[in-house]
Amino acid sequence: GAGGGAGGEDDAKGGGNAKGGSAALSAMVQRIQVPLDSTDSIVHIVRSGSHLYDVATSTSDEDYHVIFLSPTRALMHLTPPRKQFEHHVVACFGADKSGEVEHQGVEFGYFVELLSKGNPRNIELLFIDPLWSTQHYCWPWNELMERRADFITQVSN
């Protein structure tokens, strides 16, 4: 569609793949306490950390990684919007953090900048099987996924 996304206009408006639909997305954003004005700006949310790798224990917290898209108008202001946000519980390594929810959010443009620098933590997010772990994604995430091989780098001798 005119939105330019491989998923069409619905994805550009926040459709995409949301487990349980927009009501589930709103509930998840509220539970995670994502500091964004609207769920429409969310491009991708994935449950990460120990739960992503199936190594969570009864004392594990829940971690989420959020990619959001700032409005073009906001990006053109003299004072641009934030590039990232995070919430982490301060505790000793191995401490009981059951019931705690932590999150990290990165603005889409900044995320792409980090990808272009070879940041492995961010590149890894492009290779997570969305059917297994992704909670939500929409345009432009699907286009970025189609180009994920472009971000793999090799060291030459």
Question: pLDDT digits over 133-151, tens only?
Answer: 677 888 899 899 899 998 8
Q: Given the DSSP bridges, would you call strands 42-48 and 84-87 parallel, antiparallel or unpaired?
A: unpaired
For residue 77, the one-letter residue type is H
Question: How many other CB atoms are found less than 10 A from the CB of residue 153?
Answer: 11
- pLDDT at position 8: 34
* Rounded-to-integer distance, Cα 85 and Cα 115, Å: 18
**Cis-peptide into 35, omega within 30 deg:** no
- pLDDT at position 143: 92
Report the first-to-last Cα separation within the chain, whole angstroms: 44
Residue 4: which region, alpha, beta or left (left: phi > 0; alpha: psi -120 to 50)?
Answer: left
Query: Is the pLDDT confidence value at 36 over 90?
Result: no
Averaged pLDDT score across all residues of the chain = 80
- pLDDT at position 18: 53
Helices (H), 4-96: 9-12, 21-32, 72-75
Choice between 19 and 143, residue whose per-residue pLDDT is larger: 143
Question: Sorting pLDDT into bands at 50, 70 and 90, what band is 12?
Answer: very low
Query: Is the pLDDT confidence value at 57 over 70?
Result: yes
**Mean per-residue pLDDT for 112-116?**
92
